[in-house]
Structure 1
Amino acid sequence: MDETDPRAARRDPENGAGGFTDLATSPFRVDRDRITASPFFARLGGVTQVVSAGGAGLLHNRLTHSLKVAQVARGIAERITGSSESAELAAKLGGCDPDACEAAALAHDLGHPPFGHLGEQILDRIARHRFGLADGFEGNAQSFRILTTTDVRGPSAIGLDLTTAVRAAVLKYPWARLHYPQPHPTAMPLPPRGAAEPDDAPGTGASKFSAYVTELDDFEQSRAPFAGRIEPWQQTVEASVMDTADDIAYAIHDLQDFHRIGVLQHAPVAAELGEWLAHAVELASLDDARLTAEIRRPGRSLERMRRRMHLKDSWIVDDDAFAAAVARVQRELVDGLLADGFDGSTEAEQATAAFSANWMARLVDGVFVLSSPPTRSGHVSLRPAQWHEVQVLKFVHRRFVLLRPDLALHQRGQASLVTTLVDALDAWLLDRDEASRLPRRLHDLMELAHGEYSDLARIAPELLVGATGERIEGADEVRGLARGRAVVDFVASLTDKQAVTLLDALSGRSSQPWSDSFVL
């Protein structure tokens, strides 16, 4: 690769400085190696994907999910670069390197906190309402913060010092919550996916975003080589590859997991899909009020999903394609995989593996590159048939796994645990008599965040606002923001087990001193 390629630029060009030696010659392979060597990557083996694995080894965790996303991303990128037409288009849009796509896929979930998406929601609420952090907490933004700031394995001990291309490829939602870019994508008539404000929290900024205000300098540098090639709010081609791979892996592997442990049952899924297929016209004629009143009856949840797709994704949704997708999922998932259950036999394992492999091949085969995508799509997308199939597969997962009452019970306990842990750590930071005995990692995160917010107060005070939009001024208020970010950074860097064990120690329930290594 041309060493002057701006996509390969780093903040610190001395790759081997500070005693670090990179074994690879390709700059994007160097990035991949730095990511997989990071303790933040290793900890993903102890972080929930959907539910805690409990040591059984049967469920995907964030590490195994990331590895599979990387596998899919590399496969997609190699298909793009293997076709002269798509390779030429990708080059015009900024490039598509398989190593860069793989590296971004490996890194995309680094910021996920304990207990997966539930932990993300709880930390966001705490960050905004307790600590007044306007950009709260977001797993994608936390991943970018780790890569550029809080990991110390790079040559300069500030982040991993990755190339601009890989940093840009991690930006699934290439905007900040409120401030960047301007005009902000929330103001667009049809915002990009993830950019719209939450319905229940107007004025709080984008629902999803990939950078906090503390990382805007790295954000801008990462996107600079793509200026004039893609829209300011649009993913790079490599980010779009990673995002598409994430969708494909999520749609298939979580269903496979819950089939293997007996959670995903044949009868309810068959009833939902079969009822909709048999009475699609009749269900489409129901008004919204009646549909809501009958939502527990089979077929109604799927019909409601079809209507929501028309509202949000009119650019691609098609009722014939939707019906064909439901029929395919019924045939291959319901009448195929789920029909015989999972008994641990060789035959059952082979059926599960074949289901995963066949769907993976079909979905990856549906990937193509768009020159001018609609705002809710990336430059890399699925063809209509496969796009609808992914939506139906994800519906089955949400309806028959995520909305189970027993999972809700489990998650309410985890939410309480995260909240109590944040309270305990914040109280420790505020205890002047115990300041010298803080965990070293928490102390360092506090110093880092205080320096960042002090700098913002001096050079970009317009970015330093509270959760309700008020200007942050004064040393105490700045230190309050730093304390909040430090606590959130610290909790987000724990595994599920570490979070539980640390709270036991802080609550006096542990009979032994805290000894597990948690100082990432």
Structure 2
Amino acid sequence: MAEQALSERSPEELAEVRVVRRRPESQLWQPLTAGAESEFRVDLERLRFAPAFSRLADVTQVVNADSTNSVVHNRLSHSIKVTALARALAVGVREIAAPEDVARWGGLDHVVAQAGAVAHDLGHPPFGHNGERTLDRLAREDFGLADGFEGNAQTFRILTELEVHGNGVDGLNLTAASRAAVLKYPWGRLHVPTPHPATWNDPPRGANAGAYGSGAAKFNAYVLDLTEMIALIESFALPPGRQTLECNVMDLADDIAYSLHDLEDFHRSGVLQFSPISGEFRAWLADIREWAEMPQERLNRLWRQPGAGLERMRRNAAEKDGWVYDDEVFREAVEVIGRELVDGVLVMPYDGSRSADSIISDFIGRWIDNFSSAVVMNPDPGCAREPVVTVKPLEWHQIQVLKFVHQYFVLHRPDLAMVQRGQSLILAELVHTFDEWLSDRFDAMRAPRRLLELVELAEQGYHRVREQHPEWLDGHTQDSEIARMARGRGVIDFVAGLSDSQALGYAGRLGPGSGILWASGVL
């Protein structure tokens, strides 16, 4: 996919663009006169004090705190660690990159990178990615919302529409730079840009079709919020499908944190067992050539046979990430991770002792330093999947192998799947119950006030889209269709904004036989 020319604006013009906010008195894009540093710090503190950020303390990363005797990461602790990494990476890039390269990609400020990291998981619903998949299915099947639900799009909607700050402004009224710092996937599910990234010969990461077979699996704006996203992209004059540098840095920091901290959680919980993981690594390394020559159909049939998982992951990386993938480097990454993680950490079962804590802590610290020191900037990426800011090839392969261990030996566990099935049922019940409540013409106005407001806000948004971009509604422009979509988006927004405990509590209070009447907080 050919990329447009990068911006040639002066540093002064670029700085003015980056500190633009949406002003309440006119709702127009206007520059501010204060210094960028102070404006970005206002953004950072505004995000940290937002209720949506506090909620993340009770939103699942992979499992909730009650699932294990060990302390596990939640979305808040994960976001705090990503924030620290993002700052370190941004500072590192500024030290190694040519100033002119940084400028032509829109600038790089470590405070903006921190703001993007603080905000990046605000859109996660109760029960993490499992909740995300469930709400996506319900949004499509029950309400006809073609763009369903997506955590990154929900984050952008929270920042620009749903969260409040003061009077007369939708969202948190952040600067353009901070809003753009969460646009990991700067396109809609089915619309914008044209041609859509899902149709490109070389689509960027996340743009491939999702489980429903249409549009992009990952995206950053629902049709209600596409206008806002388009304005941001145009203000930075970035090529189609490209992130700002601060967003790129945040995305890399998120990848690094994900590759390490979930492994730490499940080692402490006793879930990561030495024998099966060691068997996987040793089986693949013992027969590299045989695995490489094995027909795909036979490999698929082997499923959990030791070595088969790594080979499937290797083939997927080779197919999708040819810009960096290398057979020899992959083999070296498997050897190093096998030596450092499997034989160096997992060989000794975690027993809660100080020495056990020291071993896993030392491993996590050394590898964070390793990845942080391997950051590089490529100002002229060769394909849409190749980021401008990344890490060296060996470290890139090591991150993929570490993520594989978590995905293959944790996320595929039947006991986790059973818990997640139960969580999905809870979310489905909440969505259906609130939908039925709003359908009750005698009792609808006693529904939670925020739910009613969110439905009204969505209906206003769909009417605005019908007036300005009716093509985004794919023919669903009748008043009755808009009302149904608005109710769906409002219900999904409401349920997605709950914490894990709130979702469980609401399900209990809405179910038969609940003895709870008064609880802290308001509906």
Secondary structure, in 3 states, of the residue corresponding to 1:54? helix
Shift of 1:216: 1.7
Aligned-partner residue type, residue 206 of structure 1 = A
Aligned-partner residue type, residue 73 of structure 2 = H
Secondary structure, in 3 states, of the residue corresponding to 2:22? coil
Work out the CA distance in 1 between the residues paired with 2:112 and 2:522: 30
* Native 8 Å contact 1:322 1:388 kept in 2: yes
Shift of 1:309: 1.3
Which of 194, 204, 214 in structure 2 is aligned with 1:182?
Answer: 194
Secondary structure, in 3 states, of the residue corresponding to 1:59? coil
Shift of 1:436: 2.4
* Native 8 Å contact 1:337 1:352 kept in 2: yes
* Native 8 Å contact 2:18 2:176 kept in 1: yes
TM-aligned CA distance change 1:426 to 1:269, over 3 Å: same
Q: Given the alignment of the two structures, is residue 497 of structure 1 paired with residue 473 of structure 2, yes or no?
A: no
Work out the CA distance in 2 between the residues paired with 1:13 and 1:97: 26
Partner of 1:68: 81
TM-aligned CA distance change 1:296 to 1:459, over 3 Å: closer
TM-aligned CA distance change 1:154 to 1:240, over 3 Å: farther
Partner of 2:468: 459
Q: Given the alignment of the two structures, is residue 404 of structure 1 paired with residue 413 of structure 2, yes or no?
A: yes
Partner of 1:476: 480
Work out the CA distance in 2 between the residues paired with 1:454 and 1:150: 17
Work out the CA distance in 2 between the residues paired with 1:330 and 1:400: 14
Partner of 1:104: 116
Identity of aligned residues (%): 48
Q: Given the alignment of the two structures, is residue 340 of structure 1 paired with residue 341 of structure 2, yes or no?
A: no
Secondary structure, in 3 states, of the residue corresponding to 2:331? helix
Partner of 1:44: 56
* Native 8 Å contact 1:309 1:317 kept in 2: yes
Which of 429, 443, 449 in structure 2 is aligned with 1:440?
Answer: 449
Q: Given the alignment of the two structures, is residue 268 of structure 1 paired with residue 279 of structure 2, yes or no?
A: no
Question: Aligned ranges for residues 41-440 of structure 1 at < 5 Å?
Answer: 41-54=53-66, 58-83=71-96, 85-154=97-166, 156-198=168-210, 200-202=211-213, 204-227=214-237, 230-373=238-381, 374-440=383-449
* Native 8 Å contact 1:450 1:482 kept in 2: yes
Work out the CA distance in 1 between the residues paired with 2:473 and 2:289: 53
Work out the CA distance in 1 between the residues paired with 2:191 and 2:304: 41
* Native 8 Å contact 2:153 2:220 kept in 1: yes
* Native 8 Å contact 1:86 1:369 kept in 2: no
Work out the CA distance in 2 between the residues paired with 1:472 and 1:132: 9
Work out the CA distance in 2 between the residues paired with 1:151 and 1:489: 11
Worse overlay, 423-432 or 212-221? 212-221
Shift of 1:154: 5.0
Work out the CA distance in 2 between the residues paired with 1:131 and 1:167: 28
Shift of 1:238: 1.0
Secondary structure, in 3 states, of the residue corresponding to 1:315? coil
Can you list the C-alpha shifts for 1:237-283, whole angstroms capped at 9, x where unaligned?
11110110100000000000000010111111111011111221222
Aligned-partner residue type, residue 357 of structure 2 = E
Worse overlay, 157-166 or 1-10? 1-10
Work out the CA distance in 2 between the residues paired with 1:110 and 1:215: 16
Aligned-partner residue type, residue 501 of structure 2 = K
Q: Given the alignment of the two structures, is residue 10 of structure 1 paired with residue 21 of structure 2, yes or no?
A: yes
* Native 8 Å contact 2:116 2:247 kept in 1: yes
Work out the CA distance in 1 between the residues paired with 2:104 and 2:346: 45
List alignment gaps of at least 5 residues for structure 1: 15-21, 466-470
Shift of 1:290: 2.1
Q: Given the alignment of the two structures, is residue 35 of structure 1 paired with residue 47 of structure 2, yes or no?
A: yes
TM-aligned CA distance change 1:164 to 1:155, over 3 Å: farther
TM-aligned CA distance change 1:52 to 1:264, over 3 Å: same
Partner of 1:450: 459
Aligned-partner residue type, residue 434 of structure 1 = D
Aligned-partner residue type, residue 52 of structure 2 = F
Aligned-partner residue type, residue 192 of structure 2 = Y
Work out the CA distance in 2 between the residues paired with 1:157 and 1:337: 51
Q: TM-score, normalised by structure 1?
A: 0.93
TM-aligned CA distance change 1:155 to 1:377, over 3 Å: farther
Count of aligned residue pairs for this structure pair? 503
Shift of 1:329: 0.5
* Native 8 Å contact 2:281 2:338 kept in 1: yes
Shift of 1:157: 3.5
Can you list the C-alpha shifts for 1:99-136, whole angstroms capped at 9, x where unaligned?
00000011000000001001101101111111011111
Partner of 1:17: none
Work out the CA distance in 2 between the residues paired with 1:370 and 1:414: 42
Aligned-partner residue type, residue 371 of structure 1 = P
TM-aligned CA distance change 1:487 to 1:116, over 3 Å: same
Partner of 1:19: none
Worse overlay, 154-163 or 175-184? 154-163
Work out the CA distance in 2 between the residues paired with 1:28 and 1:60: 27
Secondary structure, in 3 states, of the residue corresponding to 1:88? helix
Secondary structure, in 3 states, of the residue corresponding to 1:368? strand
CA RMSD, Structure 1 to Structure 2 (Å): 2.0
Worse overlay, 428-437 or 398-407? 428-437
Work out the CA distance in 2 between the residues paired with 1:2 and 1:190: 35
Q: TM-score, normalised by structure 2?
A: 0.93
Secondary structure, in 3 states, of the residue corresponding to 1:41? helix
Partner of 2:516: 512
Aligned-partner residue type, residue 441 of structure 2 = R
Aligned-partner residue type, residue 84 of structure 2 = Q
* Native 8 Å contact 1:109 1:143 kept in 2: yes
Work out the CA distance in 1 between the residues paired with 2:476 and 2:71: 47
Work out the CA distance in 2 between the residues paired with 1:197 and 1:303: 23
Secondary structure, in 3 states, of the residue corresponding to 2:66? coil
* Native 8 Å contact 1:164 1:221 kept in 2: no
Work out the CA distance in 1 between the residues paired with 2:339 and 2:298: 29
Aligned-partner residue type, residue 44 of structure 1 = L
